[in-house]
Amino acid sequence: MLFYLNDAERDEIKSVIHKTFANIGWKEKDLEKLIAKNMPRLIPQNQLMVLFQEKPFQEAADIYALDIKGDLSIFELKRWQGHQENILQVLRYGQIYGQYSYEQLQEMLRKYEKVGDLDLAEKHYEYFEEAIQHKLNKADFNRQQHFVVITNGTDLDTRNAIKYWKDKGLLIDSIIYRVYEIGGRYIFEFNPYNPEGEVIIEEEERNYIVNTNLTWSKTDYRDMLDNQKAAAYGSRRHGIKNLKKGDTVFLYHRGVGVIAYGKVLGQYKSKYREDKNEEEYYVDLKF
């Protein structure tokens, strides 16, 4: 929630009233186009490639995207507060599109890009070429599905339902966005989403969170603690390059919370990890 600060009476705050897209005359399709076009900025580290957007009069989710591994992300967007029915709806789409073959996904992309002979594996490789060494095989695509419900606020029942399904192993998340009107301008607040949960997120000015790469490695966090550094690997390296001397970095361990923090001592460094066959980008920290 946003608040106005009263500089004269410094113990007083006044809330900024948030609006919905419906309030400001935007349609659900406008929200869909906004997110699809700005996916690299809204989804950290450019991890998702838009595959398709909903067409009128089709039983389809709003946005489909592929991640670096070829897994399918299914987005369901709402202009208003979320409800449990949103979860049932996005799971229904997962039941349909989770069974799609490589050829069917390729046809979706061809319609979206309006290119009749486009090759999905080649397009995917071009999009992620800085992070992968070769094109994926057809069998690598759509092995798993990630479900994302994006709403203007989420009610308690929806949060409980998402927690229940996440605890059961379903890859489902909720993104909350808000719209504010401040000084005659509309402000769009969007909580970044990453299926793997292993990216760097700027939390506030010059304060950063660095996740400890738990999804990919059970030991990298120990290396960060023992050597007093913040590190990222492969496709998640870009955030490290943005860190500057004097920045405060919090090391976040999924399922535990912040396990350490420190000040950045200088520019980022890189080295090749032969045991993992990947580049490591890191900054030294003073805990």
User: 173 near 181, Cβ under 8 Å?
Assistant: no
- Write the DSSP symbol of residue 138: G
Predicted TM-score of the model (pTM): 0.66
Q: Output the six-digit token pair for 64.
A: 């489909």
Confidence of residue 100 (pLDDT cuts 50, 70, 90): very high
- pLDDT exceeds cutoff 70 at 52: yes
High-pLDDT (> 70) share of the chain, %? 85
Residue scoring higher pLDDT (16 or 57): 16
Cα separation, 188 vs 25, in Å, equals 14
The pLDDT value given to residue 204: 46
Pick from 197, 283, 187, 180: which is nearest to 240 by CA?
Answer: 283
Confidence of residue 224 (pLDDT cuts 50, 70, 90): very high
Q: What is the DSSP string of 192-218?
A: ---TT--SEEEEETTEEEEE--TTT-S
Query: How big is the chain by its Cα radius of gyration, in Å?
Result: 21
* Kind of pairing between the strands at 145-151 and 172-182: parallel
* Average pLDDT score over residue span 31-40: 89
The pLDDT value given to residue 198: 47
- pLDDT exceeds cutoff 50 at 36: yes
